[in-house]
A and B are shown apart, each in its own frame.
Chain A
Amino acid sequence: MIEGMPVFQALGGGVLIGLGAILLMLGEGRIAGISGILGGALTGERGDRGWRLAFLLGLGGGGFLASVLGLAAGAERTGYPMVLLLFAGLAVGFGARLGSGCTSGHGVCGCARLSPRSLVATLVFCSAGMLTVAALRMAEVLS
């Protein structure tokens, strides 16, 4: 474990993530699912792309502002096996499409709506992630 747990940052950050999701519903009537928004921004219908790109630009902008304030210090990891990163991305991209959502769409928005589909998806991807990390430990990629 990394030393110390950022309790207030975690709770405060969670509130901001929630406010972002609420604002997108209030303004646009949309679920804040990043994989869906990203997919639609790249391959969706023309007229439906604007708000998606705006959300993604905001996502980067908000993150950038936080990092200017020094909140991202020490968050970058380096030296992780590149082939694992690439394969991981492949699985994340394919799985999010097949399962119609990721950590934000199912995990935050869907669970907040108490959608049974999202609750199941969240339990399943957390379990699969835990098994994967256990395997990484056995393979001594993580220690």
Chain B
Amino acid sequence: MIGRWLWAAVAGGLFGFGLVLSRMIDPRRVQGFLDLADWDPTLMLVMVSAVSTTMIGYRLVLKRPRPVVEDRFQLPTATAIDGRLAMGAVVFGLGWGLAGYCPGPALTAAVLGFREPLIVLAGVAAGSLLFDLYRRRAGRKPVR
């Protein structure tokens, strides 16, 4: 049990340290990347670096029959590129641009005592609850 949690904690630790080191907890950097009128490429460098590292690492790791502490790899199985995916990304991107915070940096910055991400996180919690309500209502509709 401890081993299981330790893997996750160390993984989270590297992730959080990386978010701070790369300045991604600064919402002005994030909005700067999204600002074509005065473009700041920092976020792009972070993404290119993180994605290429992960790509190489996943190739090696996924050759194993199973992960170290669990019995199987749990990779997403959905393949549909549909309206739900696109609408979700549009709404997410709207919020991301509006504040310059997404969930990872918001959580990390909140732990450092930053005030703004606390408000963002309150919104995230409300948005997630709203989604549960929406899905429950949407789930009832096709019955008729």
Contact = CB atoms under 8 A, between A and B. Distances in A.
Contacts of A80: 27, 99, 116
A103 B92 CA distance: 9
**A7, A38, A58, A114: residue with the most chain B Cβ atoms closer than 10 Å:** A58
Interface in B20-41: 20-29, 31-32, 34-41
A110 to B, nearest CB: 7
B123 A86 contact: yes
B16 A108 contact: no
Contact of A24 (B8, B48, B64): B8
Contacts of A132: 34, 93-94, 96-98
Nearest to A50: B5
26 contacts: A1-B39, A5-B42, A27-B70, A29-B70, A30-B74, A35-B103, A51-B5, A59-B111, A61-B13, A62-B16, A62-B17, A63-B19, A72-B20, A76-B116, A80-B27, A80-B99, A89-B127, A92-B106, A95-B91, A95-B94, A96-B124, A110-B76, A111-B51, A128-B90, A129-B93, A132-B96
